[in-house]
Amino acid sequence: MRLKILLFAAYILISAIVTLNPSISAADVYVYDNNNQNLGILLGMEGDNMDLFIPSIGGVLKFSYDYSGWCGDEINVVFNSDDCSGTPYERDPNPIILDLSVISLSGFYKVDYNGRQTFTPRSYYDESCNCRLDPGDPNAEYYPFVQVQGPFNTPIALPLNFKIRTKSVVVPLYNNN
C-alpha cells in the first residue's frame, strides 16, 4: 500500500514538473536524407517546404521536399545586372541559407550583413526561375549573399527521415523506510 502511495505521489510530482516547465518536454526533430546525412533541425513545415536550422553555418535553410530550390518572391533575390548575373542581393536580410543551384549560381549562400550597398536592382528571378527585368526600389539598401561551404552533399537521397531527440530529466525519488 505504501509503495502505491509513493508511486502515485511520484506520478503527480513528475506530471506537475512537466506541466510547469515546458523545457523538460522539449524535443528537436532532426532531418536526415536516405544516406543518413544530417540536413538540419526542423523549425517548421508548410506544404512541401521546410525550414531547417543548420548549426554549423548558423542559419536557416529554405528546403523543399523535391529539392527543386527556391526562386521568386519567397526569397526576394535581386541582382545589379540586367541578366541575373553577378552577386545576388536581398533587401531584408534574414539568417537564411539558400541553395541557389536552381538558378544560375551553384552552392549554398548566406547573407553578408557587413556588405550593405545602396542601388536600384535591375533583375530578379520569378517564381518559375525565369530572369526578369525589375526597376526595384530606387536607391534602397541591399545585402549581398556570399557562398558558404554546404552543410551536406547534394543531390539529396530521398525519402527523408525524421528523428526526434528529446531532453531527458531525472527526478530523484527516495524511500522513507
Over the stretch 35-88, which tens digit does the pLDDT of each residue have? 999 999 999 988 778 888 998 888 888 777 655 555 655 567 889 999 988 999
Residue 92 located in a structural domain: yes
Q: Is residue 157 part of a domain?
A: no
Residue 47 lies in a domain: yes
State the burial class of residue 100 (Cβ atoms within 10 Å of its Cβ: 0-12, 13-18, 19+).
buried
- Residue 116 scores a pLDDT above 90: yes
41, 84 Cβ separation under 8 angstroms? no
Residue 162 lies in a domain: no
Its domain, for residue 71, covers 38-152
User: Does 52 reside within a domain?
Assistant: yes
Per the rule left: phi > 0, alpha: psi between -120 and 50, beta: everything else, 69 is: left
In a domain, 59, yes or no: yes
| Whether the Cβ atoms of residue 79 and residue 87 lie closer than 8 Å to each other | yes
106: in domain: yes
Q: How many domains does the chain have?
A: 1
Residue 126 belongs to a domain: yes
